[in-house]
Amino acid sequence: MKLQFKRSSWAGPYGIFLLLFVILPLVLVGAYALYDGDGHFTLANMAAFFTDPKFSDSFLLSLEIAIENTLICILLGYPAAYILANKELNRSAVTALLFILPMWINALMRTMATAEIFAVLGVRYGKGTLLFGMAYDYLPFMIYPIYNILSKMDRSYSEAAQDLGASPATVFRKVTLPLSLPGVMSGVMMVFMPTVSTFAISEILTNNKIQLFGSVINEQFNNLMWNQGAALSFMMLIIIGLTTVIFGGDEQVSEGGLV
């Protein structure tokens, strides 16, 4: 049902706001990427991404870390979400709440706490601490959407499969898992996107030993190399665009999630 009155113009201010603060800035990223500091057109900034090993290596490393982190989160998070959503295995809503509670605490604060523990335990900073700390940071973001979709799932599907003689393993493989895939996709978006672009979290977790692509971009802007920084940001935009197309960005937004 549509409202009868004409109120479409009320979106006007927001339309202008979006043009100014979303569209124009993105256009500027592309524009700065294609010019040098003196305002002459150049492809050198873009080319440097492929030719300068500092850029391409950190880019590939970021991609690798983000993929590994996403996989770790799925492997640890899926069983947890499954158990949480299963009334026979877990009855307490408080446990579910405890799992998503960290989502409300400032990410850098939680990262700092993890880094402190590493320091006390005497663990050497490096890729291990990075992967552990990132999984720690992002696990709730994987568990939440999967838990959400599993707990809303109509149980009659799996019961029907069981009645028709499917073993529990088959029920899971042919019914539960496929039905929960949209939740996994949302989780992938919520975990992969921030990890591929982070810089503060990785710097804190490795004591600056490992420079991810985000750190390299930040470094360009710190050193007033805006055009080079814009070109690298542009490359990251491409990766993000591809991920969105592959994993679908329509429903990844968590709805506040107060259970």
Buried/exposed 59-90: b ≥16 CB within 10 Å, e otherwise: bebbbebbebbbebbbeebbebbbebbeeeee
Give the total of residues touching other proteins (CB under 8 A). 94
Cβ proximity to other proteins: between 170 and 208 the closer is 208
Quick one: which segment of 41-49, 157-165, 172-180, 196-204 binds other proteins (CB under 8 A)? 196-204
Residue from 5, 51, 156, 165 touching other proteins (CB under 8 A): that is 5
Pick from 190, 198, 188: which is nearest to 236 by CA?
198
Among 43, 44, 47, 93, binds other proteins (CB under 8 A): 93
Rule CB under 8 A: say whether 53 interacts with other proteins.
no
- The nearer residue to other proteins, 179 or 237, going by C-beta atoms, is 237
| Shortest spacing between CB 161 and other proteins, in angstroms | 19
Q: How far is the CB of 96 from other proteins (least distance, A)?
A: 9
To the nearest whole angstrom, how small is the minimum distance from the Cβ of residue 38 to other proteins? 16
Q: How far is the CB of 240 from other proteins (least distance, A)?
A: 6
Q: What radius of gyration do the chain's Cα atoms show?
A: 22
Q: How would you write the chain as a 3-class SS string?
A: CCCCCCCHHHHHHHHHHHHHHHHHHHHHHHHHHCECCCCCECCHHHHHHHHCHHHHHHHHHHHHHHHHHHHHHHHHHHHHHHHHHCCCCCCCHHHHHHHHHHHHCCHHHHHHHHHHHHHHHCCCCCHHHHHHHHHHHHHHHHHHHHHHHHHHCCHHHHHHHHHCCCCHHHHHHHHHHHHHHHHHHHHHHHHHHHHHHCCHHHHHHHCCCCCCHHHHHHHHHHCCCHHHHHHHHHHHHHHHHHHHHHHCCCCCCCCCCCC
The span of 43-51, 116-124, 159-167, 171-179 binding other proteins (CB under 8 A) equals: 116-124
Q: Which is nearer to other proteins, 13 or 165 (CB)?
A: 13
CB of 11 to other proteins, least distance (A): 3
- Closer to other proteins at the Cβ: 26 or 181? 26
Among 75, 101, 123, 242, binds other proteins (CB under 8 A): 101
Does 80 interact with other proteins (rule: CB under 8 A)? yes
Rounded distance between C-alpha atoms, residue 173 and residue 5, angstroms: 50
Binding status of residue 102 toward other proteins by CB under 8 A: yes
Find the binding residues for other proteins in span 118-157 (CB under 8 A).
Answer: 119-120, 136, 139-140
Please report whether residue 255 would count as binding other proteins according to CB under 8 A.
yes
Within positions 201 to 240, which residues make up the interface with other proteins, using CB under 8 A? 203-204, 208, 214, 217-218, 221, 226, 229-230, 233, 236-237, 240
